[in-house]
Amino acid sequence: MLGVMTNIGFGIDIGGSGIKGARVNMDDGEFVGDRIKIKTPQPSTPEAVAGTVAEILRTSEWTGPVGITLPSVIRGQVAQTAANIDAGWIGTDVHELFDRHLGGREISVLNDADAAGIAEVAFGDPRARKGSALFLTFGTGIGSALLMDGRLFPNTEIGHLKVGKQEAEEQASSAAKDRDELSYKKWAKRVSKVLNEYERLLNPGVIIVGGGISRDHERWVPLLDVGTPVFPARLRNRAGIVGAAMAVASHLAP
Ligand code: BGC
């Protein structure tokens, strides 16, 4: 069947613990074939990580365009920050790096939450497709993507917004829930406080909550005290890879 399907892309999602890649059917956002996952090399320097990305593409026998996510602000295809990956990424020209390791193909690098956000809006809950949507990932930090009619305003980084005395992600990421051994009820209070601040400043039409903890959304989304409709993400851990593939297919390179 592969031979007759033309609208296929490839995305790679780079995280602090794993680097994952898969072929993506661009019409429905589903994976085509298996997802490949390789442990993030330690230290996770740009050269080592780019080597692993090349290995994933070789194993997959994929020679076409590739979209790549990083837990970093990416401006002009230069990484400006590095969360949970080696500090050596800061200031790295990611286009030059991946071009050298994966040469001769189109490459697009973008922030991990931005990638997941464009994928969720395109293939997740249809209520997020029109108008303004704020997508958030709750994990080690809080990642954010701001979208209007599915188009991305990149690198928003509002997980680092100060809400009260602390940054949002320090108090309301899922890592903060584990660190402080909070019940869902207690954690939902903190998340509500953060979302109330986001509402006050951005007034999005909808808020979509993703990240690993969105798997348990029944246990905490109903507890949120927020005026804006909040929906759980649907693509879950597929979102980063799918969004990366979408980014390169649409020549989006923040
Ligand atoms: C980083 C973001 C990233 C998010 C999720 C935050 O700490 O600053 O760039 O999107 O974590 O990985």
Q: Is residue 198 part of a domain?
A: yes
134 lines ligand 1 (CB under 6 A): no
Q: Are residues 96 and 158 in the same domain?
A: no
- Give distance in angstroms: CA of 197 to centre of ligand 1: 18
Q: Which atom of ligand 1 is nearest to the CA of 160?
A: 8
Q: Are strands 206-210 and 230-232 parallel, antiparallel or unpaired?
A: parallel
Domain extent, residue 206, equals: 126-233
Number of CB atoms found within 10 A of residue 35's CB: 17
Residue 195 backbone dihedrals phi, psi, to 5 degrees? -65, -35
Decide: 111 in ligand 1 pocket, CB within 6 A.
yes
Residue 254, in any domain of the structure? no
Residues 71 and 153 in one domain: no
**What type of residue is 18?**
G
Assigned domain for 120 exists = no
Instruction: Indicate whether 121 belongs to any domain.
Output: no
State how many domains the chain has.
2
CATH number, domain of 52, equals 3.30.420.40
Q: Is residue 25 located within the same domain as residue 99?
A: yes
Distance of CA 124 to the CA centre of its chain: 14
> What are phi and psi for residue 38, nearest 5 degrees?
-125, 140
Report pTM: 0.96
**pLDDT tens across the length of the chain (254 residues):** 454 557 999 999 999 999 999 999 999 999 999 999 999 999 999 999 999 999 999 999 999 999 999 999 999 999 999 999 999 999 999 999 999 999 889 999 999 999 999 999 999 999 999 999 999 999 999 999 999 999 999 999 999 999 999 999 999 999 999 999 999 999 999 999 999 999 999 999 999 999 999 999 999 999 999 999 999 999 988 999 999 999 999 999 99
210 Cβ inside 6 Å of ligand 1: no
